[in-house]
Chains A and B, each alone.
Chain A
Amino acid sequence: MASRAQTPAQPQTQGFLYSALLLGWLIPGAGHLVTRHWIRAALVFLSITLMFSLGLAMQAKVYSPGTGDPLDVLGFCADLGTGVLYFIARVFSLGQPTVQLVTADYGTKFVVVAGLLNFIAAVDAHNLRIGRKV
């Protein structure tokens, strides 16, 4: 009796290959929208946006480039991971320039980790896009 051959899932390779990676970085969850994983996209968007917003509400420090301090450069790279959220925070001056309260220190960590989590989510969306992950 003939049996059907097992074939791996075909990756979605039409269009720009890095669209999920770039969109996922710019807007949290957008990379998973590109790959049509709606619930994952909503959960990633909610988690990262809420984490970033709560951090700002706790008077977080939003790092800026060009301060010369290596730790500030690392913080800037991590903050940049939130994509559009970071630019909104910078344009509207939503963050604090210095940490003055204990809760502001927690908030700074929330913003930094939101950026790092968004990097992971964007890479995950890219893996779904190229078929490395199903």
Chain B
Amino acid sequence: MLTPSHFTSVLLFATFASVVFGITQRSTTRGMVRYGIYCWVLFVGSVIAASWLMYIVRK
């Protein structure tokens, strides 16, 4: 049984979802790569920001 941490799960989820989003939402190779990276940064960045927010609220 696989038991990744929450953050590892986020990284895996963001990677796979960003690849498909990049391929399906843009037409050029350059556009796909840029949009995929943009989505990945938004996925991971929003999780880190939400984590810090919850940490501050808990304190």
**Which residues in A have some Cβ–Cβ distance to B below 8 Å?**
40, 43-44, 46-48, 50-51, 54, 57-59, 101-103, 106-107, 109-110, 113-114, 117, 120-121, 123-124, 133-134
Q: Give residues of chain B (1-48) contacting chain A, Cβ–Cβ below 8 Å.
A: 1-4, 6, 9, 12-13, 15-17, 19-21, 23-24, 27
Q: Is the CB of A57 within 8 A of B1?
A: yes
Pairwise interchain contact B23-A43, C-beta atoms closer than 8 A: yes
Among A46, A101, A117, chain B packs the most CB atoms within 10 A around the CB of A117
A-chain residues with CB within 8 Å of residue B12 when the two chains form the complex: 51, 54, 110
Which residues of A sit under 8 angstroms from B16, Cβ to Cβ?
47-48, 50-51, 114, 117
Q: Decide if A58 touches B4 in the complex (CB within 8 Å).
A: yes
- For residue B4, give the distance in angstroms from its CB to the closest CB of chain A: 7
Interface residue ranges, B against A (CB under 8 Å): 1-4, 6, 9, 12-13, 15-17, 19-21, 23-24, 27
Q: A121-B23, A124-B24 are in contact. Are A58 and B17 (CB under 8 A)?
A: no
Chain B nearest Cβ from A81, distance in angstroms: 12
Main SS of chain A's interface residues? helix
- Say how far A53's CB is from chain B's closest CB, in angstroms: 9
Q: A110 contacts which chain B residues (CB < 8 A)?
A: 9, 12-13
Once A54-B12, A106-B4 are accepted as A-B contacts, the answer to whether A43 and B24 lie under 8 Å apart by CB is: no
